[in-house]
Amino acid sequence: MNVLEVKHALKILGKKEVVRGVSFEVERGQLLAILGPSGCGKTTTLRMIAGLEIPDYGEIWIDGALASRSQKIVMSQKERHIGMVFQDLALWPHMTVYKNIEFGLKTIGLTRAERQKRIEAVLGKVNMQKYANDYPARLSGGQQQLIAIARAIVTEPNRTYAKSVAEAVLLHSEQVVSG
Ligand SMILES: Nc1ncnc2c1ncn2[C@@H]1O[C@H](COP(=O)(O)OP(=O)(O)OP(=O)(O)O)[C@@H](O)[C@H]1O
Ligand SMILES: [Mg+2]
């Protein structure tokens, strides 16, 4: 079964068709990179998949279930279990690395001890245990990317969408490293 199907997705922003009838399928375990010039609609496509934008036309199916259809959200953002690494990373500058990662976990109702265990594990996965108490501004660009990835995967979503090729490659290598 395909974990994701995008069928004829179309999105109008302002007065422009920024995504024009895009279709593709992704199988479990497949890594897909969407390439194209700046402004061609990659981020908008990912936002539709994550449930942050509603397609004006077309359908999005997740794990065989209808998630969005022409101007209608069928499955909420939360129900989609999608982790997202934002293009600008969107780390909160006033929170430590630990707090940044913990934020998403609070919404899934884990105890403090469970959250700590998960955060330590995910920081280990990206080799950033030493930085738990640092603020994002103290990290290098690459380290900030790793924290954004850690935050996206710590809730153990079904899928993690990376919003740039570099992040996708990082994600892939991280999975290879962790076996
Ligand atoms: N909120 C918005 N209102 C109006 N137009 C928008 C909005 N957000 C994005 N756009 C336009 O939609 C088009 C697609 O934007 P999108 O962010 O999906 O591009 P992208 O392929 O991710 O580009 P990049 O490679 O630069 O990240 C762009 O022309 C952009 O100006
Ligand atoms: Mg983009």
Q: What CATH number should be reported for the domain holding residue 136?
A: 3.40.50.300
Angstrom distances, CA of residue 70 to CA of 24, 26, 82: 17, 20, 20
What is the per-residue pLDDT for 130? 96
Q: Which of 73, 49, 74, 19 is nearest to 157 (CA)?
A: 49
Domain count, the chain: 2
Ligand nearest to the CA of 45: 1
Is the pTM higher than 0.85?
A: no
Residues 7 and 63 in one domain: yes
Least confident range of 8-17, 60-69, 168-177: 168-177
* pLDDT tens-place string over residues 85-119: 888 889 999 999 999 999 988 878 889 999 999 99
Could you tell me whether strands 159-162 and 82-85 are parallel, antiparallel, or unpaired per DSSP bridges? parallel
Do residues 169 and 89 share a domain? yes
Query: Which residue puts its alpha carbon closest to atom 27 of ligand 1?
Result: 38
Q: Indicate if 111 and 134 belong to the same structural domain.
A: yes
CB 79 within 8 A of CB 157: no
Structure confidence by residue, pLDDT tens digits, 123-154: 999 999 999 999 999 999 999 999 999 999 99
* CB 87 near ligand 1, within 6 Å: yes
38 Cβ closer than 6 Å to some ligand 1 atom? yes
User: Which pair of tokens denotes residue 63?
Assistant: 């794990």
DSSP letter assigned to residue 90: -
Query: Ligand 1 pocket, 164 CB below 6 A?
Result: no
Q: Are residues 34 and 115 in the same domain?
A: no
